[in-house]
C-alpha cells in the first residue's frame, strides 16, 4: 500500500489498526473518485444554465466534489466497518495492503497529484487553496484513469 510508511502490515490482534488502515483507504478512494465524477455536476451547469466557468471555478468545484465524495465514503465505510467482525476487518485490511493492482492505482494517483500541482505553481494558483486542492484531485483522478486505461485491473505489477 502506498501508505505503508504510515501503516504497519495488518495484524489479527490489532483490530483498531486494521480499521484505521481501511478507513484511510476509503477516504483516499473518495478523493480519487471526486474528480472523475465532478463533470457530472459541472457540465450540466455549463450547458443548461449557461453559466460561465473560469479555471478557478472548475478547480474549486472539483475540490468540493472530491471532499464531499470522500466524506460520504467515510460515513458509508464507518457504518460498514461497524457492522463487521474483527476477522472481516483484518481480511479487508490485509487485502488492501497487499493487493498489487490497488498499490499500482495508488502510486499512479500520487504521481498524478504531483503533476496536478504543477499548473497551480505555473498559473499562480487559480482559485486559491481550494483551487490548488482541486488540481491535486484532478491529478489523482487522472492517475486512477491511467491505471484503468492501461489494463490496471489485470495488472500483476
Find where cell 503533476 sits: 115
**Range from 58-67, 107-116, 121-130 carrying the lowest mean pLDDT:** 121-130
Mean pLDDT of 127-136: 88
Question: Per-residue pLDDT tens for 134-152?
Answer: 999 999 999 999 999 997 6
Beta carbons of 27 and 74 less than 8 angstroms apart: yes
pLDDT at 155: 47
pLDDT higher at 15 or 128: 128
39 to 14, 27, 90, 103, 154: CA distances (angstroms) = 40, 20, 36, 26, 27
**pLDDT class of 33 with cuts at 50, 70, 90:** very high
Residue 157 has pLDDT above 50, yes or no: no
Question: How far is the C-alpha of 132 from the C-alpha of 120, rounded, in Å?
Answer: 6
Question: How far is the C-alpha of 80 from the C-alpha of 42, rounded, in Å?
Answer: 30
Question: How far is the C-alpha of 139 from the C-alpha of 88, rounded, in Å?
Answer: 32
Nearest to 143 by CA among 31, 55, 64, 65: 31
Residue 4 has pLDDT above 60, yes or no: no
Question: How far is the C-alpha of 80 from the C-alpha of 73, rounded, in Å?
Answer: 10
Question: Per-residue pLDDT tens for 66-85?
Answer: 999 999 999 999 999 999 98
Please state the separation of Cα 142 from the chain's center in Å. 10
| Max Cα-Cα span within the chain | 56
* Average predicted confidence (pLDDT) for the chain: 85
Amino acid at each position: 500500500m502506498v501508505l505503508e510508511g504510515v501503516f504497519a502490515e495488518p495484524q489479527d490482534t490489532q483490530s483498531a489498526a486494521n480499521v484505521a488502515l481501511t478507513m484511510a483507504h476509503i477516504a483516499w478512494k473518495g478523493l480519487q473518485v471526486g474528480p472523475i465524477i465532478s463533470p457530472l455536476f459541472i457540465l450540466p451547469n455549463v450547458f443548461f444554465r449557461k453559466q460561465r466557468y473560469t479555471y478557478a471555478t472548475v478547480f474549486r468545484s472539483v475540490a468540493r466534489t472530491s471532499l464531499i465524495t470522500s466524506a460520504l465514503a467515510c460515513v458509508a465505510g464507518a457504518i460498514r466497518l461497524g457492522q463487521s467482525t474483527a476477522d472481516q476487518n483484518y481480511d479487508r485490511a490485509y487485502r488492501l495492503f497487499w493487493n498489487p493492482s490497488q498499490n499500482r492505482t495508488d502510486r499512479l494517483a500520487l504521481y498524478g497529484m504531483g503533476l496536478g500541482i504543477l499548473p497551480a505553481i505555473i498559473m499562480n494558483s487559480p482559485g486559491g487553496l481550494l483551487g490548488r486542492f482541486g488540481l491535486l484531485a484532478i491529478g489523482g483522478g487522472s492517475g486512477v484513469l491511467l491505471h484503468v486505461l492501461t489494463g490496471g485491473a489485470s495488472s500483476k505489477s
